[in-house]
Every structure is written in structure tokens, then in C-alpha cells.
Amino acid sequence: KMAEKQEEPSNAQNGEPDNAEEGEGKKKKVKREDLPPFEIVTGERLPAIFFKFQFRNVEYSSGRNKTFLCYVIETQGKESVTSRGYLEDEHAAAHAEIAFFNTILPKCESSLRYNVTWYVSSSPCVTCADRITETLRKNKNLRLTIMVGRLFMWEEPEMQAALKKMKSAGCKLRIMKPQDFEYVWQNFVEQEEGEEAKAFVPWEDIQENFQYYEEKLAEIL
């Protein structure tokens, strides 16, 4: 249901007439159209409920078929610049990983060095992994570290091969530790207005699940 709700704005983009009498709801939709099809709003934070569900490092991730990607880009040139934000792959045809390269970092200027860290709810699919490998091979001045909550389809030989290729292209793939989840919570998750920032509450099996995935990843790589 959540997904259906969030896809609504795209109807407005499909050239539906703008009915003024629909009032507020419609205005909001029209406003959404000014944004690229991917809602990349730097500084915007993801709702806590999404974080608690999507980032859980559970083994059986039913219903968690959406990728949330929080990113930090450090650009080193004459001056170092850091930017951060998050994107999710609900609002576009592309997965979040590919959208990152298409919209947030479409080109790496050869005179600059980019250190990019992603905090992603799950590891990339084969297609995204291949795109990551290709991008890193093309841009030697791009360093990418991907911190993942859980491994996606890691038992598939094709997936394992894709992850190995990513590693050989220089991508650092890491499983998120409890401290990393806390970092995302503090830096990328909405805090209730007017309240003091709530402390991150680790879920029961966060440490065991981290260890489980870390062992799997070590075996693959």
C-alpha cells in the first residue's frame, strides 16, 4: 500500500488535467513535478519508519524490496567539499544505485578526487553491481565504499561473481555494524520535530545478523 501511495505523483506527470477543484492535494502533486523524477533533496531525511523496516539486517527480507541509499560524497580539489543526501528507488525506473550515477554524480571531473560512501539497505543486484564495476573502472579518481545492511541474493553464483568484480574494480563492500546503523540514524533519519533527537535503539539480533552477513561476505570475496 505504501508503494501505491507514493507512486501517485507520477500520474500528474502523465499529463492528467490539473483540476483546480481538487485543491490542496493537487497542488502538492503539481509541486512535486518540479523535482526530477527522483526525489533527491539534499539535507532531507528519510522517515524513521522506513529506516526501521528497510534497514533491518534480517535474513528473510520479505517486503523489503526497495533500496534506500544514503550517500556522503567528499570531493577533494582545491577545497574539499562534502555533500550528503539519500534516494530511494520508488520514484524512477532505475534502481537507486544507477540513479546515483545518473543524477547525483553523472560525471567525475578528472582534476578532482571523489571519496563516496553509500549506506544501503541491501547489496546491489547484478545489473547495478555491473554498473558500479564499469563506473569505477572508467573513473580512477572515484573511490567507492558501500556499507550494506544485508546481502541480496548472495547464494546466486551470478551475484557472487558480480560482487567479486566490484571488489576487483576497487569497490570496498562492507556489512553495516551496529555503529553504522547508528550513524545513519543520526545523519539521515528524520527526528521528530520539537523533540530531542532520539537515541538509536538497536534491534534484538542486530549484532548476530551483522556477524552472519560478514561471514557470508568474507566467503564470497
Within 55-177, where are the H helices? Answer: 96-99, 126-138, 157-168
> Which contacts of 95-101 are long-range, i.e. CB under 8 A and separated by 24 or more positions?
95/67, 95/124, 95/125, 95/127, 95/128, 96/67, 96/68, 96/69, 96/120, 97/67, 97/69, 97/124, 97/128, 97/131, 97/132, 98/127, 98/128, 98/131, 99/38, 100/69, 100/71, 101/131, 101/135
Which are the catalytic amino acids? Answer: 97
Rounded to 5°, the CA angle 179-180-186 comes to 90
CA distance 47 to 110: 36
CA distance 94 to 38: 9
Closest to 57 (Cα-Cα) out of 218, 220, 203: 203
**Ramachandran quadrant class, 144 (left: phi over 0; alpha: psi -120 to 50; beta: rest):** beta
Alpha carbon of residue 111 to chain centroid = 26
